Amino acid sequence: MKIESKRVTSPKGDITLYTLTNESGASVTLSTLGAGIVGVVVPDRNGDLDDVVLGYENAADYIADGPCAGKIPGRFANRIAKGVFSLGDEVYNLAINNGPNALHGGPEGFQNQIWKPEAIGDNTVRFSLFSPDGDEGYPGNLQVKATYTWTDDNKLTLVLEAETDKTTVVNLTNHVYFNLSGHGSGSMTGHTLWLNASNYLPTDDTQIPTGELAPVDGTPMDFTEPKAIGRNMYAPFGALKIGKGYDHCWAIDGYEKGRLQHVATLSDPKSGRSVEVQSTQPGIQVYGGNWLEGSPAGKNGAVYHDYSAVALECQGFPDSPNKPSFPSPVLEPGQQYKETIQFTFKK
């Protein structure tokens, strides 16, 4: 295993890219901008290596990109209704940046900050970020860490940690997009997806959950048996019309706080590659890249269109600060936020 680094300039300051390469030549490239995953090179069924995550040719193009490609959004991933939530008697107002709602922590969220890096040994990189009290409207000074470890058996583990000095809300994930045929190979709708989820979260027209957990059985939202993502994507079903395809959160079956479990498998019949996803989080947002058209220029001249890649975002439930029935996103002083996401690549 080896770690190599490269520094590039950007309007936000220098960005450092770390490439972790294992003994088989498979590699992961990470960026200090948004503590992002900007490359994953893994073998197909024939042993041929290709990069299977969406990303840009220019490292600076990740700044404020619409897709939030590969990065860690925060302080609260996904949506908060009307950009308002309360903690006790205090009401907090956030930036409105997604229709009438707040999305991914705001326009200057964690995904658009340069994190402080630390290489640990030959297979781990830790990124740290300080978010001051009032940052994008959120309370409390928050210390955040994102630790990535890459192994010789092509497993990428991300541990997300946070501590606060004032009651706040935290919901962290990684927004990496996969196309297991290769990032520039076109549509991913032929990929098959399995989810460990019998229920999903219906939303209103602005993609804010209603608070209900609805059974997937008998609907296009059912991935309890593996099926092609494109199979029912254009079905006349209300949820799919709202997001122009899949852009919804599923509730993980058997969730227990802190317990790592298998939550999803994405497979590509064309290349033979698959990625198994494990998580300690209660939900997974599946976003089919429904609005990728017009993305910055991709790596190696790739042009990304709608549905070119799919994001599997392990996270807490959207709008949970306003939904007492949802798993709580509240973090108190003296507590530690700690969640794990694993991506295991197979052929």
End-to-end Cα separation, the chain, in angstroms: 20
Query: Does residue 245 contact residue 228 with C-beta atoms inside 8 Å?
Result: no
Strand, coil or helix: 134? coil
Is 313 considered catalytic here?
yes
Nearest to 56 by CA among 65, 45, 47: 65
Integer Rg of the chain from CA: 19
Nearest to 273 by CA among 342, 178, 202, 338: 178
Residue 190 has a CB neighbour count (10 Å cut-off) of 14
CA–CA dist 269, 318 (Å, integer) = 32
Nearest to 20 by CA among 117, 123, 116, 115: 123
Could you tell me the maximum CA-CA distance found in the chain, to the nearest angstrom?
60
Find the catalytic residue in 104, 175, 191, 248.
175
Find the catalytic residue in 136, 161, 163, 313.
313
Is 262 considered catalytic here?
no
Q: What angle do CA 137, 324, 263 make, to 5 degrees?
A: 90
| Catalytic site positions | 175, 313
